[in-house]
Structure 1
Amino acid sequence: MSWHSGRLAAFDLETTGVELEHDRIVTAAVSIVGGGLPTESHDWLVDPEIEIPAGATAVHGITTEHARAHGRDAREAIEEVVALLAAHVRDGVPVVAFNARFDLTILDREARRHDVRPLVDRIGGAEALLVIDPLVIDKAADRYRRGKRTLTAVSEHYAVRLDAAHAADADAIAAARVAWRLGQRYAQLRDADLRTLHRWQVQWAAQQASSLQDYFLGQGRDERVEPAWPLVPAPVAPALAVAA
Structure 2
Amino acid sequence: MKTLLFTGDDGYNALGVRLLAQIFKIDYEVTIVASKVQKSGAGGSVKAYGSKEWGMETIDGIDAYWVEGTPADAMEFAQGYFKNGFDYLISGINIGENIGLSTITASGTGGAAIRALTLGIAPRVIIMSWMQTSQDSGNWARETKEEVVANYLEYPGKAVKFIFEEIINNDYFGKKLINVNFPANPTRDYKVTKLLQDLTKFYKYPVIVSDNTFAYGEQVYNYTEETKSDISTDVGALLSGYISVTPFVIE
Give the TM-score band, short-chain normalised.
Answer: 0.3 to 0.5
Bigger strand fraction: 2
| TM-score (normalised: structure 2) | 0.37
| TM-score (normalised: structure 1) | 0.38
Higher relative contact order (CA 8 A, sep 6+): 1
